[in-house]
Homo-oligomer: A and B are copies of this chain.
Amino acid sequence: MPLQRASLRHFILGLLTQRPMSGYDIKRRLKSLSWLVGEPSFGSLYPALKALEKDGLVTMELENRENKPSRKLYNITEAGIQTLDEWISQPAGPNASLKAFVMRLILADNLSRSALIAQLYQRRAQIAAHRAALEDDTRWADDGADSVQRMALEYGLALANAELVWLDDALDRLLAQPQAVEVVQGD
């Protein structure tokens, strides 16, 4: 199950914002998210880590533990954080898949609340446009198209509507929440 276009590196960076991890750690973490974003193979994971290191977006340090095989712990660098930030703040392609969106959601959440909200708004606009397009298609397809194509259109509409409901809901809750961090100091 592949991840989306050019995303594995970014996802790795996103995970490393939480804490330093080994390749194996990352695999385990991705596995727990696999229902959403898929699970990469070692054959892509380890090379990706090497590439990130070569590009200076992460650093590697060997962790030697007694009675356990040593392992490579990766840390994200400043440059890595910046790269991630740039990537997440540029809008997703208009045809971005569900998986790509969820991935961005998780990454955005690692960065900031405002990034998270931005992702939701962006997605909302895209899905709304998508639904409008589908509704157009439905109208002029009522006569000509074969039945399965109409079925597919309804399918797309049903999913778009469900997604919009969820997006509105999520945005409502997020915006209702107190700003969390930053403010608390007092207690």
Contact = CB atoms under 8 A, between A and B. Distances in A.
A97 interface: yes
A65 B162 CA distance: 49
Nearest to A116: B148
Contacts of A105: 148, 151-152
Nearest to A157: B166
A38 B96 CA distance: 10
Nearest to A167: B155
A50 interface: no
A102 B158 contact: no
Majority DSSP secondary structure for residues of A touching B: helix
A62 interface: no
30 contacts: A1-B95, A2-B5, A33-B149, A34-B95, A35-B95, A35-B130, A35-B134, A35-B156, A36-B152, A36-B156, A38-B95, A97-B97, A97-B99, A102-B152, A102-B155, A105-B148, A106-B148, A109-B147, A109-B148, A116-B148, A151-B170, A154-B170, A155-B166, A158-B162, A158-B163, A158-B165, A158-B166, A159-B166, A161-B162, A162-B162
Q: Which 9 pairs between the two chains have the least Cβ-Cβ distance? A: A162-B162, A109-B148, A158-B166, A158-B162, A1-B95, A102-B152, A155-B166, A159-B162, A106-B148
Interface of A: 1-2, 5, 33-36, 38, 95, 97-99, 102, 105-106, 109, 116, 130, 133-134, 137, 146-149, 151-152, 154-156, 158-159, 161-163, 165-166, 170
